[in-house]
Amino acid sequence: MHQSASLSPRILIVGGGTAGWMCAAAISRRFASANLQITLVESEQIGTVGVGEATIPHLRYFNERLGFREPEFLQATSATYKLGIEFINWGQVGEAYIHPFGVFGKKFRDVGFHHLWARYRQDQPQDSLFDYSVSVLAAAQGKFAYPSSNPADLLAEYSYAFHIDASRYATFYAVTQRFGA
């Protein structure tokens, strides 16, 4: 069978939801000049899981590469800010900690903060490393501010992510990217 050279390359993505729409958006953006025809097929019998979904900071960078504006994304997905991931009963029952999206303290001269803290802790064993994380302290107080753009500022040493409605997130991609389904 003879195919015309004018046919656009076609990509079929089987499965929707957050992963399917993210895949379609990334391919579309990366190969924008290739005149691709992207089709995403979702099952009407298998609904998208409509739960909250925790993200990591890389999602912000992914959205930025796609050209999404954060205020629109926040509204469309009912997102809230997230400064880390809390682990409850991780080491033992009753123990919890927050893995921050950022660093602990700042290095002094050429000495990394962890070295300084380890030496300090020899004299102050009750102190916690988590007391030296902007992300952990802000999260514990229910506070949020965008990181500073000044690299010398301690408030530039953390990042953030989101907690989103996964169903609304998939719909956000579908609407903003206008893929065939």
Q: Which residues contact 110 (CB under 8 A, 6 or more apart)?
A: none
pLDDT at 160 over 90: yes
- Please state, in angstroms and rounded to a whole number, the distance separating the CA atoms of residues 151 and 147: 10
Q: What is the pLDDT of residues 34-49, one digit of tens each?
A: 888 888 888 777 665 5
Sign of CA dihedral 72, 77, 83, 84: negative
pLDDT surpasses 60 at 127: yes
Structure confidence at residue 181 as a pLDDT band (50, 70, 90): very low
pLDDT in tens, 132-143: 899 999 999 999
**What is the mean pLDDT of the segment spanning 53-61?**
89
Give residue 57's pLDDT band: very low, low, confident or very high (50, 70, 90).
Answer: very high
Pairing of strands 52-54, 161-165: antiparallel
- Residues paired with 162 in a beta bridge: 81
150: confidence class by pLDDT, cuts 50, 70, 90? very high
Contacts of 102 (CB under 8 A, 6+ apart): 83, 84, 133, 134, 135, 157, 158, 159
Residues 104 and 97: their CA atoms lie apart, in Å, by 14
| Summary mean pLDDT of the chain | 84
Q: For the whole model, what pTM was predicted?
A: 0.74
Q: How many other C-beta atoms lie within 10 A of the C-beta of residue 143?
A: 11
| In the chain, ranges of CATH 3.50.50.60 domains | 1-82+163-181
**pLDDT tens digits for 84-105?**
999 999 889 999 889 999 888 8
Is residue 5 pLDDT above 60, yes or no?
no
Residues known to be catalytic: 82
CATH architecture of 1-82+163-181: 3-Layer(bba) Sandwich (3.50)
